[in-house]
Amino acid sequence: MTWSERFLESLGLRGHLVAGPDQVSGLTVAAGSITAQVQGSRRKPYDVWIDLPVFSPAEWARAERAMASDPSCYELILDGDLPPGLEDLFADCGLSLLPAKVQDLTMDCSCPDWAVPCKHVTEVLWVLAKAFDADPFDVLTWRGRTRSRLLEHLHDLRKSAAIAAEPRPAVNAPVAELPLAECLDDFWLGGGDQPSEPPRQPADPALDRLDPPDLVIRGRNLADLLGPAYKAFSSW
């Protein structure tokens, strides 16, 4: 069943075309509103409005997640078409993509006829149904989501899902230790708690019996400076 057939059937309008579609002009589909002009018996065309509530941001987010998680649905939308099961997908999200009945619509016409819908509104509904066959994305636009915005949101959702599915490195993974013989050259260059340079070797055994002084002269510890003097004294 085509989009036009499903739309007209939901409104109970199949077989109720009053006049030819050439009397309808300026059909515009926007979020929540359809506008058009219908040429009647008067010189000036009548203005017609047909409103349908748009989905809330939360409702659209729910539907977009469902569309993004269905690869075949996403590919069809990417190719410029809507999947035939899109209505069922929206229904699974608790949403009715097409109006379920004519009472779901708010309709108005500038003609003097008090009937709702009047014949001019009915003519616009027929032309609108045919417009859905030509571009089914008008159905989504009427509910508040243009094709470009929908594709943008679906792309972001698919990208986020792909990033979340990527494997992540293990946290605190054990590091393999190399034998000491294989890392002697850079043993003192390692990180962690290892010293950045070999420990200082006192210049004379006599200095080993004393605690190293805290005095530093020109960047060198006093014990290092006194080392040569101790060696000289011990050789006398």
User: Is the four-CA dihedral 140, 142, 148, 153 of positive or negative sign?
Assistant: negative
**Confidence category of residue 1, pLDDT binned at 50, 70, 90:** confident
The per-residue pLDDT for 76 is 92
Q: Is the pLDDT of residue 16 over 50?
A: yes
Sheet holding 24-30, edge to edge: 24-30, 33-38, 46-51, 106-109
Q: Scan for tokens 């990527």, then name that residue.
A: 166
CB 130 within 8 A of CB 4: yes
Question: And the tokens for 168?
Answer: 């992540």
Calculate mean pLDDT across residues 154-177.
68
pTM: 0.65
Calculate mean pLDDT across residues 105-112.
94
**Confidence category of residue 150, pLDDT binned at 50, 70, 90:** very high
Q: Is the pLDDT of residue 192 over 50?
A: no
CB 146 within 8 A of CB 105: no
The per-residue pLDDT for 200 is 53
